[in-house]
Structure 1
């Protein structure tokens, strides 16, 4: 059996005096028989080339399954008069969302379910099943719940589903008491719905032809979608829209944002007649967010903004349109602390921030005289990730937070602001006798080409006595931080003797806004050289060797993998690129493609700017494939991905196979019924990850190792 050979059908274009020939652009024709045949041939080749790993794949799947508590329940979250939670069941892909009534209105301690409750029994007294996700997914190869929202009076549920993978959702409305569906059905929606306070209407967003959320609509129950009110349209193709309510439920807000600029509109439910108002008109380079708080008995807007510095300041403003010059500082800008978000509650504020590469939660207590004590919630591990979530109640005195490390499973805590007590509610069970003490995790620092110190998070089993195989993960874009996290699937690597590390390269947000700015636009090459520097550091410090280290990244991280494969192939035994953004120049030259115009402020506009063209052309993985010996590469994609189209890795693999020398061990695996996030359903996703991990272990020389 020979690998597929994509036919060369040259297409030539010219930009800024540069002539560019593309032999494989014809693969973009998704519906053609030739393209389908090629993708299927690549899948067959990949299956044949990995057939020897079938037993290992099954072993890894069995390990993931054996370590996972399949019939389980999330920690209930209180909203109004009910506790909401999710359930999972052994043998079922998706599970269910449920609720039970609040018994003690004064208590914020979540109820605990009975042990070993079967799937056909209520987990708690009075349980209502809001959504049976397995029933909704029945008959579909793909299923995704885009979001669900209960009306403020608790009687109606609006939920959005996608059964294709293209992230175009359909909203339906369910009467919770009767289980009956209303006739309302809203199609072509991005995400979910936001109820207004009265519960007789909800808001949603739709996208334009470039997959940009550009319109916010209001739907009145009982009417047709064609009659929905267009609340706001954003014509600037760099901006996208979102809609939501403040935690206090007093305001509805519409956010318009580009990569560098934002603008908020608000509707006061206490004064609907005043209509929608712009809080602060957009200014190029000024980003801000808006929330409602009550401080010292006064209603104010909380404004988290970068008007006074790149790492953001927290300010207050009156409940009227207010320019940036009139915002009053509450937490001044500090270049050592990146303020990322703020949650407002009746008795306290919670600020999400990061310093020296670590996430932090900061509490500001509120009293009759205004802001009182200001402090951090402390944790003991060297590296960790903490964040607040599941806190819908404005009046709640507790803070629900999540905590994890590379070795400590995801943990749910309640922090009582009144007593300052931190209570562990749940730690994700890992069956089979897992003990976090069997693993060591550290923060390392590599030195980049320009002298910058790059943080690395690493975990391995204790007892290492020399270099071990290692999986190095990276992303480095959009100011997205890849913070330390626990993974049950990863144990199948660690327990076979491998280590896992995250390279916190520039382009992400781990070290503040400057970290992002120093890895975008014309400084994007820092992302790639940082990753190579981290690999060299791990080799030089004796953690691993080049012939046993594998690199992995997905989406924009797949761009990172493709660029490093061209620039430093000698450092790795293999590369895994998931839904990779590898045909960067072609995508950014075509303003009609999804997301391109919105991405100009991240990557540059090569069509309109010769300098941006030169920069992207110099690193774009597809354009820079050369006649060198690459290590084995596994590219994974999905046919219905609207963010990074399947054609990018398909073209990349075709060019690699036609151009490279030496081994030319390149595999393309396309999920034919999935989107950007891959397959749906937990068992399908476990099989999917088992395939990738088996390939990685084979590259490491650990395919025969036993856990």
Structure 2
């Protein structure tokens, strides 16, 4: 910015407390030029990025004061919704214990406390399935021999924020490592607790990213560091008892467009490091039995194959289970002898285990000592299949077996299991079935498996699933594409064209909006709202093509699909077209900004949660958090003028136009490292300056939160109550039906 620009900059107008009820804060304009590919964009509010600037902090506080004033009449409704969530929740509860080595691990929640308590009890071994049958532990009842690993309430005491970013226990059960975030910026501090004494070891590892695990012998802790742009790029090893300063870098990824992560293999024989983007990847493995060999590369990224690898032993031979997209857009699964990876990829021999299918998306695979477990998506639904390892990859391979459930729309996913266990843990849910925990007994030859229900999450307050209906319908886009919608409502709702409706969407990164139970959502449905989940292109609901047809130069399909879903709802006979609102978060917040520009007249209100609304500015600066990683999702506007032009044509902040925008709430957090607060802060200013309408546009900002908002379950309930009250008030759906 030039000196003359600074002199010409307009002063910020921050209303006093009494003025806040009628006048929103107006940020000063400091014109900043951004030029790429011969195009110059003048950004008047880029200065709001100066997080340490007291003027910025004052402005954000003024925004929150204005929001509080504008929404003050919603306070009773917010309290009602919060209490409805609270009254339906069994606050003193615990998870189903999971066995690991000689212990049963579980988490407790206690009424009045915001965070969980991590616990364990010793396991007994008598043989057979009994060894894997969880002990019966009652909520709120003291358990003889229970050991508290970590009371997160004590950790969070006196802190403005708390989040647990991972934990690991040594195989002998003696040491417990955990990572805690006290700011919301997703940078964690690792501490190690000696479970024999309850004392913390002197080692403290600061500013780490997600991911930590002990080596099988318990002598080494592996953890991840992120670079200055919050991109995980280093895997480090800490030998217990040595100075943290001497920790070694096991692997460092220097490509700014690649993401790095690690995990233990299912049999805990290897550390598996995955490096990749959304289009190709590579895997490096450390064999704990031969660490002197260092990291072994499987398939190099130059082969441009997107794959995951799981090592295991089959008849004494080292094998690798590959989930990959080599000649398989929806992915397939192959078994490869580990020795094959020493050859060029074109010369390697891969045995097909699960062939490619245009109608089935393979999400991933793992192994137990006896079975392969596959996560897949068919007919939009995520499900699990298991196949015996014996004969895997040969013509005599056993047929896959799938647990059978009785609902049409549901989600069944892995909930973790031990390699030696004869069963696997499954998590099942649907839109109106609270989460169930099943143990699935792995089938023997020629037999089906058995589902053992361990728990269904209780829902209090007289909840009855039969009071609600979930339907799958299809809306036709302008190009003829059939877009799946999940339509949720009360069963007794009259189809009289007078009800309110909310359309929710995401549509990026191949993330699917799968059926799942929500206590909070019941508060909208009980007020006569028809809730529609739009499974738009860019998500993963319909396979890899569905994703690819909603990314990069096809991104606009995501936005038009959402409008298609809105049009279906408006014409469905269920709602009054003038009583439709929209909601989405993060990349779904970009979707909200795009449809606000595309079809503002179709919505009475929009809630954009942590919205990625200034995407072009962010992705043009690889120094900003996670920006370079986004090139494989949106394209690279730095090097490609076509991508730049395409993105500039839809980026919400740059396409605000003089129309009557509906009520809009942009919800953000000051310490969010994924979508910086500055994006919605700028967007709100531009909307207010340009809109020809009179509806309020507000910025709700959590000054002590991260990408997920404030921490703790009660604060989370308050956040959801705020969002839903804003929508319900705008739609005239404040009363229970």
Does TM, scored on the shorter chain, surpass 0.5? yes
Contact 1:297 1:368 (8 Å CA) reproduced: no
Q: 1:331 aligns with which of 345, 354, 357?
A: 354
Superposition pairs of residues 455-604 of structure 1, within 5 angstroms: 455-466=484-495, 467=497, 468-604=499-635
Superposition pairs of residues 108-123 of structure 1, within 5 angstroms: 108-118=131-141, 122=142
- For residue 320 of structure 2, what is the aligned residue in structure 1? 301
User: Which piece of structure 1 moves more, 467-476 or 199-208?
Assistant: 467-476
C-alpha distance in structure 1 between counterparts of 2:232 and 2:136, whole Å? 40
- For residue 389 of structure 1, what is the aligned residue in structure 2? 415
C-alpha distance in structure 2 between counterparts of 1:161 and 1:142, whole Å? 10
C-alpha distance in structure 1 between counterparts of 2:336 and 2:123, whole Å? 36
C-alpha distance in structure 2 between counterparts of 1:10 and 1:514, whole Å? 41
C-alpha distance in structure 1 between counterparts of 2:314 and 2:530, whole Å? 48
C-alpha distance in structure 2 between counterparts of 1:662 and 1:366, whole Å? 64
C-alpha distance in structure 1 between counterparts of 2:415 and 2:115, whole Å? 21
3-state SS of the aligned residue for 2:479?
coil
- In structure 1, the gaps of 5 or more residues are none
- For residue 347 of structure 1, what is the aligned residue in structure 2? 370
- For residue 423 of structure 1, what is the aligned residue in structure 2? 452
Q: 1:360 aligns with which of 348, 359, 383?
A: 383
- For residue 10 of structure 1, what is the aligned residue in structure 2? 31
Q: 1:160 to 1:279 in 2, by over 3 A?
A: same
C-alpha distance in structure 1 between counterparts of 2:436 and 2:249, whole Å? 42
Q: 1:319 to 1:116 in 2, by over 3 A?
A: closer
Superposition pairs of residues 603-622 of structure 1, within 5 angstroms: 603-622=634-653
C-alpha distance in structure 2 between counterparts of 1:398 and 1:501, whole Å? 36
3-state SS of the aligned residue for 1:623?
helix
1:706 aligns with 2:736: yes
C-alpha distance in structure 2 between counterparts of 1:363 and 1:546, whole Å? 46
Q: 1:253 aligns with which of 262, 267, 272?
A: 272
1:681 aligns with 2:707: no
Q: 2:662 aligns with which of 631, 656, 663?
A: 631
3-state SS of the aligned residue for 1:619?
coil
3-state SS of the aligned residue for 1:372?
coil
Structure 1 residues 57-115: Cα deviation after superposition (integer angstroms, max 9, x where no partner): 11111111111000001000011111110000000000200011112342244334454
Contact 1:296 1:368 (8 Å CA) reproduced: no
CA RMSD across the alignment: 1.4
3-state SS of the aligned residue for 1:640?
coil
- For residue 95 of structure 2, what is the aligned residue in structure 1? 74
1:220 aligns with 2:239: yes
CA shift, 1:299, in A, is 3.3
Superposition pairs of residues 657-668 of structure 1, within 5 angstroms: 657-668=688-699
C-alpha distance in structure 1 between counterparts of 2:315 and 2:582, whole Å? 52
Structure 1 residues 279-305: Cα deviation after superposition (integer angstroms, max 9, x where no partner): 111125311111023445543110110
Q: 1:114 to 1:250 in 2, by over 3 A?
A: closer
Contact 2:108 2:118 (8 Å CA) reproduced: yes
- For residue 6 of structure 2, what is the aligned residue in structure 1? none
CA shift, 1:381, in A, is 1.2
3-state SS of the aligned residue for 2:474?
strand
1:292 aligns with 2:321: no
Contact 1:174 1:182 (8 Å CA) reproduced: yes
CA shift, 1:420, in A, is 1.3
- For residue 128 of structure 1, what is the aligned residue in structure 2? 147
Contact 1:75 1:110 (8 Å CA) reproduced: no
Structure 1 residues 452-473: Cα deviation after superposition (integer angstroms, max 9, x where no partner): 1111112111122223212211
Structure 1 residues 217-238: Cα deviation after superposition (integer angstroms, max 9, x where no partner): 1100111221001111111111
1:172 aligns with 2:172: no
C-alpha distance in structure 1 between counterparts of 2:466 and 2:372, whole Å? 35
Contact 2:391 2:398 (8 Å CA) reproduced: no
CA shift, 1:9, in A, is 1.2
Contact 1:407 1:459 (8 Å CA) reproduced: no
3-state SS of the aligned residue for 2:653?
coil
- For residue 34 of structure 1, what is the aligned residue in structure 2? 55
Contact 2:185 2:706 (8 Å CA) reproduced: yes
- For residue 302 of structure 2, what is the aligned residue in structure 1? 283
Contact 2:30 2:47 (8 Å CA) reproduced: yes
CA shift, 1:133, in A, is 0.4
Contact 2:183 2:705 (8 Å CA) reproduced: yes
CA shift, 1:543, in A, is 2.6
User: Which piece of structure 1 moves more, 450-459 or 537-546?
Assistant: 537-546
Contact 1:77 1:110 (8 Å CA) reproduced: no
User: Which piece of structure 1 moves more, 513-522 or 105-114?
Assistant: 105-114
Q: 2:436 aligns with which of 411, 418, 435?
A: 411
1:240 aligns with 2:265: no
1:399 aligns with 2:436: no
C-alpha distance in structure 1 between counterparts of 2:285 and 2:139, whole Å? 46
C-alpha distance in structure 2 between counterparts of 1:700 and 1:112, whole Å? 48
C-alpha distance in structure 2 between counterparts of 1:582 and 1:425, whole Å? 43
Q: 1:116 to 1:242 in 2, by over 3 A?
A: closer
Structure 1 residues 335-386: Cα deviation after superposition (integer angstroms, max 9, x where no partner): 1111001120111111000012111211112337874231222222121111
Equivalent residues, number: 701
1:58 aligns with 2:69: no
Contact 1:657 1:664 (8 Å CA) reproduced: no
CA shift, 1:581, in A, is 0.2
C-alpha distance in structure 2 between counterparts of 1:605 and 1:246, whole Å? 34
C-alpha distance in structure 2 between counterparts of 1:110 and 1:220, whole Å? 35
3-state SS of the aligned residue for 1:527?
helix
CA shift, 1:262, in A, is 0.6
Contact 2:99 2:132 (8 Å CA) reproduced: no
C-alpha distance in structure 1 between counterparts of 2:274 and 2:211, whole Å? 15
Structure 1 residues 131-173: Cα deviation after superposition (integer angstroms, max 9, x where no partner): 0000000110100000001012211111000000001111110
User: Which piece of structure 1 moves more, 306-315 or 284-293?
Assistant: 284-293
CA shift, 1:272, in A, is 2.2
